Amino acid sequence: MCSPRSRTSAATGPPTRCATGSPSVYNVVTSLIEAGLAQNADAGPGPALYEARRAWHHHFVCRACHRVFDVDCIVGARPCLTPGTDVGIVEEAQVIFRGTCAACAAQAR
């Protein structure tokens, strides 16, 4: 851990960079989510993705370059889709589009 003295002491030279542990980062992300400032960006399997909270939207994942793009909500508001059977009250539906983004498709031509 990096103490305030070691970061600011004139006797030791310039401030040192302190490594931030994963638990600290996840605690901050959790706090941002709980405060409604961030949300998990569900793009399917892979590393967890987070983004600033904004209007409900979906994601497109390019199979070639693996970039994730925001896609506006299909019908304008969640849950966007409803199941074909009565399963209860649907609050949200995550839609993940997969394919080849415009840039990768242009390179393939």
State pLDDT tens for residues 49-79.
888 877 778 889 999 999 999 888 877 677 7
pTM score above 0.75: no
Give the containing element (helix H, strand E) for 24.
helix 22-34
For strands 68-72 and 57-62, give the pairing.
antiparallel
Residues 36 and 25 in one domain: yes
Which residue bears the tokens 């070639």? Answer: 64
Amino acid type, 60: F
Residue 38 lies in a domain: yes
Residues 87 and 42 in one domain: no
State pLDDT tens for residues 79-109.
777 788 888 988 878 788 999 999 999 999 8
Residues 65 and 107 in one domain: yes
Q: Which domain holds residue 26?
A: 20-54
